[in-house]
Amino acid sequence: MKQEKTLVEEGFLGQRMVVLPRKIISVIRRNPLINTLYFTDIGFFPRASHHSVVRAKGSREFILIYCCTGEGVIKIANQSKVVKSNSFYILPPNTSHEYYAIENNPWSIYWIHFTGDMAVHFYAKFISEYFDSPAQLGLKERRINSFENLIDVMENGFSTINLEYVNLSLWHLLNTFLYKHLYAEDRKKYSENNTVESAITYMKDNINLSLKVNDIAAIFNYSSSHFFILFKKRTGYSPIHYFNYLKIQKACQYLSFTTKSIKEISYSLGFNDPLYFSRLFKKIMSLSPLKYRKKYGQ
């Protein structure tokens, strides 16, 4: 299948693996719904003692390795990266690499080979965040269930419906790794420990106030300048710009589902000048508050 050397002659008890035939991959490539991101191989190796793979020329696809228990090592670009329990790494295609289980604590891994025009963008996002070391994840049960579900469906055959379901699901699976802080089971812990997430929660809870950057920064014991940089790096927006977006989002709800006047909505969101509120609303939503209510109100 792939140019590789392995030290394992027999399989691992409880292992699962699905390798798509070339003809099936050709079917995927002709399907515009799924041909921009799809996988070719997927599997699970439990307690993979003596597991070792060497690919002198690399793989044709990207490879995501998710270690759910134990430990292993990935060697790439003359660097060794220890992969511990509940962490992952993505290997790029056509790049010499090696990976193996640590003997006294062998890893259990889910792995997936994926490709398509969009795959390079997922990898670029990953490498921009986790170049130096494998990324540590939060709780794992639902992520593991996603892997198991994809394998289950593939073991039931390669019908068009099955292929479309698993490869559309692949987008979500990759997102649980790349945007782990937004994944539902990790979100509470992340919000409690991350300043920006906590700041956004604070903004939502105080949507009726007229806050400045220094007001919010002081809550979290940051200088205004440092907080501004931290917030914009995480969200792409300045704190006040983001706060205004939240306010306008709330205004849309009021306009759609209540009979509050535009002036009342303006005051309830901390805008003392209804005309300024209306201008800001139109700038963000491309409609005046009145026209928005006529178009989307109940």
Q: Are residues 173 and 199 in the same domain?
A: no
Of 2-6, 14-18, 84-88, 254-258, which gets the smallest average pLDDT?
2-6
Q: Count how many domains the chain has.
A: 2
Determine the average pLDDT of the residues in 105-113.
95
Instruction: Specify the DSSP class assigned to residue 90.
Output: E
Q: Are residues 59 and 166 in the same domain?
A: yes
Q: Are residues 112 and 214 in the same domain?
A: no
Tell me if 129 sits within 8 A of 137, measured CB to CB: no
Q: Which of 142, 160, 186 is the last residue of a domain?
A: 186
What is the share, in percent, of the chain residues with pLDDT greater than 70? Answer: 91
Name the residue among 40, 45, 21, 180 with its Cα closest to residue 112: 40
Q: Are residues 170 and 200 in the same domain?
A: no
DSSP β-bridge partners for residue 75 = 80, 98
Q: What are the backbone angles phi and psi of residue 214, rounded to the nearest 5°?
A: -65, -30
Q: What are the backbone angles phi and psi of residue 292, rounded to the nearest 5°?
A: -65, -45
Determine the average pLDDT of the residues in 289-297.
86
pLDDT grade, residue 50 (50/70/90)?
confident
Report helix, strand or coil for 211: coil
Region of 47 on the Ramachandran plot (φ > 0 left; ψ -120 to 50 alpha; else beta): left
Q: Which of 121, 152, 186 is the last residue of a domain?
A: 186
Q: Are residues 93 and 131 in the same domain?
A: yes
Q: Are residues 203 and 245 in the same domain?
A: yes
Tell me if 292 sits within 8 A of 252, measured CB to CB: yes
Q: Are residues 44 and 168 in the same domain?
A: yes
Q: Are residues 133 and 180 in the same domain?
A: yes
Q: What pLDDT does 190 receive?
A: 47
**Which range marks the domain in which residue 56 is found?**
5-186
Spatial separation of the C-alpha atoms in residues 205 and 208, rounded to whole Å: 8
Q: Are residues 210 and 97 in the same domain?
A: no
Q: Are residues 175 and 201 in the same domain?
A: no
Region of 259 on the Ramachandran plot (φ > 0 left; ψ -120 to 50 alpha; else beta): alpha
Q: What pLDDT does 198 receive?
A: 87
Based on C-alpha coordinates, what's the Rg of the chain?
A: 24
